[in-house]
Amino acid sequence: MTNIKDIALHCGVAISTVSRVLNDHPDVSQDTREKVLRAVKELHYIPNTSARNLVRTSSDTIALLVKGVNNPFFARLIKVIGREIAQRGYSLELHHMDTSEDELRIGAQLTNERKLIGILFLGGRFNYSPEEMALIHVPSVFCTYTNTFGNLNPSAYSSVAIDDKQAAQDAVDALVALGHRKIAILTDNKDDRSISELRFQGYKDALAMHGIPFEPNLVACTGTFSDMRAIYEATSRLIERDSSFTAIFAIADLMAIAAIKALSDHGKRVPEDCSVVAIDGLELSSYTLPTLTTLVQPAEEMGLLCAKTIIELIEHPGQNRQYTFETVLRPGGSVCRLNG
Amino acid sequence: MTNIKDIALHCGVAISTVSRVLNDHPDVSQDTREKVLRAVKELHYIPNTSARNLVRTSSDTIALLVKGVNNPFFARLIKVIGREIAQRGYSLELHHMDTSEDELRIGAQLTNERKLIGILFLGGRFNYSPEEMALIHVPSVFCTYTNTFGNLNPSAYSSVAIDDKQAAQDAVDALVALGHRKIAILTDNKDDRSISELRFQGYKDALAMHGIPFEPNLVACTGTFSDMRAIYEATSRLIERDSSFTAIFAIADLMAIAAIKALSDHGKRVPEDCSVVAIDGLELSSYTLPTLTTLVQPAEEMGLLCAKTIIELIEHPGQNRQYTFETVLRPGGSVCRLNG
């Protein structure tokens, strides 16, 4: 393996000169700089930064625990988080979990087994208890967690999320404003103490506020956020059971895309025969036919804030904090006025 | 923190009994087993497996270097790889790269800085040299690499890929069989010494085989696999420059989806006015309107084989090997017979 001495020998300069070039010191002539950089390339020299890392800390690894890896909204968050953490000089270790696993137990086990300096959680329940939180002995940030069903003290956890209930209400409001009253919902789950239940509650609250009776018949549970076939089939069963609805609120963009296909296969055009609104705001759903009307979650901002917060908690241990982002309606071609 | 002694005290049993329960030994009564497991849960005991890990090796970390994280085909591979590696008792460290970075230099730097036992590369160039490969000092597997533009000896690298050139030829063949001769291509790049160039070559070869002249005017370069806006705009420029084509071969599913939207916005219906074929076979593109006709890459099988191969190379150092998968045409609604 080439080392810094080889480079110096090859170029006929002092080791300290090579070092100055590699560390971008100004007092090196342009000629020498070019010669050294050429040699670095030709001899395939890889700077060894281990020593530098050892000075800083025994570990620089932040774990990212993801529950639901097929979720394209998560993919955007992971990308931003990965970039920011690398830029700040830390390493990111990714762990995927099945939806059947418990994120806090896995997180606790990881901190025991590995030298982690922080954990980011992505996806999971919304009902943590103080006893469960006490399992995590390193700084942590929960991306998408809200404490709705939990009983944590705000000082006990950090989180970045949207107001899921409000977003669901906004989606239903948008449909009601277009004259719809028979509004079906496509949700992962009704009682998972997590994001699906919260959006389902927002749907029910919005109906109540508009004086629209809740109809259990118009609730379709998919059991998944990402399995398109299961979502398609749940929508098909809904249509075959009760096709009186004129609009669907899907709690995620991918669900809406599969629903539009199911509606089309049952002879229902979107938006003429059925309007569809979702939550997510994926770039993809601006390019489907029709384009999707959806409440946009600011994925880039959320991912960046998750990364910044965990690094801040690691570098300057301090108070936990909770951030909530607003969603914004992105108009698309999947809704229209009832009988309009 | 609860330890195994606390559990034993709490249950009034010997430490060795708790250990037998935790390690699933058969010689424990059902009653005792239940009592211990209940205590494990109530006292939030987390088994410490560090000791076990230390015996095995100083590190159990395999790195996965991903170039192009927004690629949904990669997302499927990453999920399968992550699951298999975790099940086999190893850890996966994920690193994202910009498309401007060089995967081999980053890989070499990582093995220097961190204790890695293996590297998986996902995405990247197709033109590695023996000197470059020599930079990587741990077992490695290249997912999606083929040595087309490189000059590696087969003994020098392991890879899992599809035959990109053949897949592109199959796509063009399918269009020609439907009577199309004016066939445009939507590609990331024409000369990146990578997947795009190879698929572009397959397109040109297929045209030549069918005696169809190559028209540079019908080549649209997007410069990206995942930025939908850029793909949409490249397609729009193609249509505005020369709308004589009756079919488009898009080298990836997402490209085809954005292209169909651009065609629609220019008053061209798919498939009536323009047929579209792609390569990927994402589940998503079975649920778009129209559904996509596409050559399916077996992502699950490929990801699994990548993980199995790297673990095999780590556990039983031996010969490198190359695997090539075939793609299969999945018929969809995005093609029709010319004037049919």
Instruction: Give DSSP secondary structure letters for A177-210.
Output: HTT---EEEEES-SSSSSHHHHHHHHHHHHHHHT
Q: Is B17 left (phi over 0), alpha (psi -120 to 50) or beta?
A: alpha
User: Distance from A295 to chain B by nearest Cα, in Å?
Assistant: 19
Per-residue pLDDT of chain A (340 residues; tens, 9 = 90+): 567 777 888 888 877 788 778 766 767 888 888 888 888 777 777 655 433 333 334 578 899 998 876 778 888 898 899 889 988 888 888 887 777 789 999 899 888 777 789 999 999 899 999 999 999 999 999 999 999 999 999 999 999 999 999 999 999 999 999 999 999 999 999 998 999 999 999 999 999 999 999 999 999 999 998 899 999 999 999 999 999 999 999 999 999 999 999 999 999 999 999 999 999 999 999 999 999 999 999 999 999 999 999 999 999 988 999 999 999 999 999 999 997 5
Inter-axis angle of helices B30-42 and B15-22, nearest 10: 90
Task: Tell me if chain A has a CB within 8 Å of the CB of B232.
Answer: yes
User: Distance from B264 to chain A by nearest Cα, in Å?
Assistant: 9
- How many Cβ atoms are within 10 Å of A99's Cβ, its own excluded? 14
Residue among B72, B93, B257 minimizing CB distance to A93? B93
Chain B, residues 15-74, CB within 8 A of chain A, namely 44, 46-50, 53, 61, 64, 69-70, 72
- Ordered domains of chain A (ranges, CATH): 4-48 (1.10.260.40), 58-162+299-325 (3.40.50.2300), 164-297 (3.40.50.2300)
Instruction: Give DSSP secondary structure letters for B305-318.
Output: HHHHHHHHHHHS--
Burial of B29 (0-12, 13-18, 19+ CB in 10 A): exposed
Residue among A76, A95, A112 minimizing CB distance to B50? A112
Quick check: helix, strand or coil at residue B339? coil
Residues of B in contact with A300 (CB under 8 A): none
Phi, psi of A155 (to 5 degrees): -75, -10
Terminal-residue alpha carbon distance, chain B? 73
Strands A159-162 and A322-325: parallel
- Given strand B328-330, what is the order of strands in its sheet? B219-221, B183-187, B247-250, B275-280, B293-296, B328-330
The owner of tokens 């309009």 is A340
DSSP 8-state class, residue B186: E
Cβ distance B96 to A82 less than 8 Å, yes or no, reads yes
User: Distance from B110 to chain A by nearest Cα, in Å?
Assistant: 9
ipTM for the predicted complex comes to: 0.79
Whether the CB-CB separation of A339 and A179 falls below 8 Å is answered with: yes
Nearest to A322 by CA among A79, A123, A145, A136: A145
Whether the CB-CB separation of A254 and A75 falls below 8 Å is answered with: no
What whole-number distance in Å separates Cα of residue B161 and Cα of residue B199? 13
Query: pLDDT digit string (tens) for A182-230?
Result: 999 999 999 989 999 999 999 999 999 999 999 999 999 999 988 999 9
CA nearest A130 in B: which residue?
B44
Biggest alpha carbon distance in chain A? 85
The owner of tokens 């930025």 is B227
What whole-number distance in Å separates Cα of residue A225 and Cα of residue A280? 12
- How many Cβ atoms are within 10 Å of A31's Cβ, its own excluded? 8
DSSP H or E segment with residue B296: strand B293-296
Whether the CB-CB separation of B288 and B255 falls below 8 Å is answered with: no
Buried b (16+ CB within 10 A) or exposed e, B192-218: bbbbbbbbbbbbbbbbeeeebeeeeeb
User: Distance from A12 to chain B by nearest Cα, in Å?
Assistant: 23
- Cα A303 to its chain centre, rounded Å, is 7
Return the residue in B67, B79, B113 with the most chain A beta carbons within 10 A, the one to mutate for interface testing: B113
- Given strand A275-280, what is the order of strands in its sheet? A219-221, A183-187, A247-250, A275-280, A293-296, A328-330
Query: pLDDT digit string (tens) for B248-279?
Result: 999 999 999 999 999 999 999 999 999 999 99
What whole-number distance in Å separates Cα of residue A168 and Cα of residue B298? 37
User: Distance from A79 to chain B by nearest Cα, in Å?
Assistant: 7
Neighbouring-strand partners of residue B93? A93, B63
Terminal-residue alpha carbon distance, chain A? 72
Quick check: helix, strand or coil at residue B69? coil
Handedness of CA B158, B159, B160, B163 (dihedral sign): negative
CB-based contacts of B314, cutoff 8 Å, min separation 6: B62, B117, B118, B139
What pLDDT is recorded for position B58? 54
Residues of B in contact with A228 (CB under 8 A): 283-284, 286-287
DSSP H or E segment with residue B161: strand B159-162
DSSP H or E segment with residue A275: strand A275-280
What pLDDT is recorded for position B299? 94
